[in-house]
Structure 1
Amino acid sequence: MSDTTNIYEQTPDLDTIGGRLSRAREASGLSASELAWRLGVKTATINAWERDRSQPGAHRIAKLAGLLGTSISWILHGIGPAPREDDLSAASVSLQMERLLRLHRQTGNLIGQLERDLRKLESAGT
């Protein structure tokens, strides 16, 4: 796009707000529950937005745009920079690393709990 091109000259994305949110979330590599946690809402709220059963409030739109790597105008009207699904950015890699580390901690916690439970069972059986 040249510097003189107006974003309103572009062909708008005619999907719904929910459809655009869903596509942007998937392109960012976030699950609905991860996005909900980052926004401080319930996963059901994200699901309702993506299914067009409700819409995010104005105070959430800017944060959504930042988290999803898109513009406010694209979320609301389908005009402007859209997320790129094939974009490998530092932010997307960082999000994937955070997710992997969180899963690693959870796995460690589960292993520890299973080891404690196993020791209890072994000591009760002897």
Structure 2
Amino acid sequence: MEAETTAGWFSGAAATFGDRLEGAREAAGMTQEALARRLGVRLTTLQAWEGDAADPRANRLQMLAGMLNVSLMWLLTGEGDGIDGPKPAPTEMSLAAVLAEVRALRAGLSGLDGRLERLEKRLTTQGGV
């Protein structure tokens, strides 16, 4: 979809009718074929709507809003009850980043090990333990 932005996903200024229709259809878990069949239109007709090459008639708009569980106003303008934006992808650390973190932890542990050894030595020599 062309209209995905980080600040205002599917905002009225960024998304087209076709973008919102496609997003709502995908959020509903429907294929183009399934939605076209349920609406009683040809697949090419639905594809034209999603591609902003044609607009549905009023009765089809109402049906689309109901089937996709969005408001008619959101479908037309992007304002009102619609779908949430895409969920952010989980951040994954690259293997190189994980390896760097492991090495940093190991270096820190080595430093702590040395400090512990010096403190233990000081205790045994001064305390007679």
TM norm. shorter chain > 0.5? yes
Alpha carbons of structure 1 residues 52 and 39: separation in structure 2 relative to 1, 3 Å: same
Letter in 2 for 1:42: R
Contact 1:32–1:47 (Cα < 8 Å) also in 2: yes
The TM-score, its normalising length taken from structure 1, stands at 0.56
Number of aligned residues:
76
Whole-angstrom distance in 2 between the partners of 1:37 and 1:76: 22
Give structure 2 stretches of 5+ with no counterpart.
Answer: 1-9, 87-129
Q: Does 1:43 align with 2:43?
A: yes
Q: RMSD over aligned Cα, in angstroms?
A: 1.8
Give structure 1 stretches of 5+ with no counterpart.
Answer: 1-10, 87-126
- Per chain length, whose mean CA-contact separation is higher, i.e. which structure has more relative contact order (CA < 8 Å, sep 6+)? 1
- Structure 2 matches for 1:1-126, cutoff 5 A? 12-14=11-13, 15-84=15-84
Q: Which segments of structure 1 move beyond 4 Å, counting only runs of 4 or more?
A: none
Identity %: 42
Whole-angstrom distance in 2 between the partners of 1:84 and 1:77: 15
Whole-angstrom distance in 1 between the partners of 2:79 and 2:38: 25
The TM-score, its normalising length taken from structure 2, stands at 0.55
